[in-house]
Amino acid sequence: MKPSDAYFEEALRYIPWGTQTNAKRPLPFFSDTMPKFIVRGKGCRIWDMEGKEYIDYRLALGPVTLGYCYDEVDAAVREQMSKGVLFSMASPIELELAKKICAIVPNADMVRFMKTGEDANSCNVRIARAYTKRDMILTSGYHGYPDWFAAEESPANGVPQFMREYVRPIPWGNCEAAEKLIRQYGERLACVVAIGYDFNENTSGDFLRLLRNLTKEYGALLVLDEVLTGFRLAPGGAQQYYGVDADLAGYAKALANGYPISAYCGRRECMEMLNTFKITTTYAGETLSMAAAIATLDCMVREKVHEHIWAMGRRLMDGFNRIAAELGVAGHAAGLPPASWLRFEHADPAYPPRLEYLWHRELYREGIFINPRWFISYSHRASDIDETLEKARRALGRALDAEPKERDDVKPFWW
């Protein structure tokens, strides 16, 4: 038993799941190669409890856009720490960050801050209901754990069943279902909350444009959940990339390179509803994360971070395609360069998830920490991508050798 195995067993005694985040739970079907804990990171690399090094493509589930322990960001945090973390009144740093976000994010006339993505999404739902004087919402995609976004699993998850009367899900990208539901609820509809991109092969933006047109037709608000897409697809997120003008939007993960902060922002007439009722929390004005966000945004603008992320993502995708061709695997690089993946194809529908499982298992063995969608950071350099591709080719070769022997031991598809 490795030290991390014993540590995890003890963690389960004190912490449900042994961790705070569902997606950071050790996956039992990767137990022999996937690390259970990470103790440090620098640039695009992380190290586990046993000291093994990995090139990381999970990036803490998306927040680490510049790289771990990015010097400029951490220096800004240390400078702010010498002044104080939280005060008895607002700090001037709040206005400094607000102005930067409004200058970068499309349709952001005003902004306020919270700590997590679900905070931002929940705040936007409250604003939309207050602004429209309507109760019904439609959701599309994952928006966090709050009741509004978890009604489908009620009552097993502690959400009151009556919430089902006020929220309905739209399968992301399904234009027919979206039009049917929006027209069904019409003038009862306060808003449609949708993620900007579902990290699949539907990269057209047509779904968002349909939502924009239909919500305008019925006087409902379009709320974009940019928690993952914001400051990743483009500085202004999916709104900028797809040219869609949301009424309200929520940002979080990539905003401060891993420091805990979120922002909800939008058109002035919507945001000014906050002058009429309370959404407030003590830690929204915490200054260290704001200093980190300012430094992160400054770096993104000054150093053309997104051009680099897209270039490295394309390099990875080109490599995926070469590996598939060289090894005779039916598949192709899919998605957008900031978060792509190698999509396997086969007449047997069980084959692609089985091969992906085996490949991912071997990638961990090679020291590549993977994600179902491979996130790229500013710290990933061409040499890191090339090293990754060399190891990915070896790992896929072993996976192909193992596949016929392990057909009766199919593991769950984890995306």
Model pLDDT, residue 411: 64
What pLDDT score does 135 carry?
96
pLDDT tens sequence across 396-413: 999 999 988 877 666 655
3-class state of residue 41 by DSSP: strand
Residue closest to 72 by CA, chosen among 223, 239, 248, 259: 259
Q: What is the pLDDT of residues 226-235, one digit of tens each?
A: 999 999 999 9
CA–CA distance, 92 with 98 (Å, rounded to integer): 10
**pLDDT tens readout for residues 90-121:** 999 999 999 999 999 999 999 999 999 999 99
Phi, psi dihedral angles at 236 (to 5 degrees)? -95, 15
Percent of the chain with pLDDT over 70: 98
Strand partners, 47: 40, 53
Which pLDDT does position 32 carry in this prediction? 87
| Tens of pLDDT, residues 270-316 | 999 999 999 999 999 999 999 999 999 999 999 999 999 999 999 99
pLDDT for the residue numbered 415: 47
Please state the rounded mean pLDDT for residues 342-354: 93
Question: For the CA atoms of 32, 34, 39, 45, what is the dihedral angle to 10 degrees?
Answer: 130
CA angle 170, 173, 175 (to 5 degrees): 75
pLDDT in tens, 33-86: 999 999 999 999 999 999 999 999 999 999 999 999 999 999 999 999 999 999
Calculate the average pLDDT of the chain. 95
- The domains located in the chain, with CATH, are 3-61+304-406 (3.90.1150.10), 71-302 (3.40.640.10)
Cα 226 to Cα 181, 265, 306, 358: the distances in Å are: 22, 11, 16, 32
pLDDT number for residue 407? 75
Predicted model pTM: 0.95
Burial string for 342-379 (b: 16+ CB within 10 Å, else e) reads: bbbeeeeeebbbbbbbbbbbbbbbbbbbbbebbbbbbb
C-alpha span between 377 and 381 (Å, rounded): 9
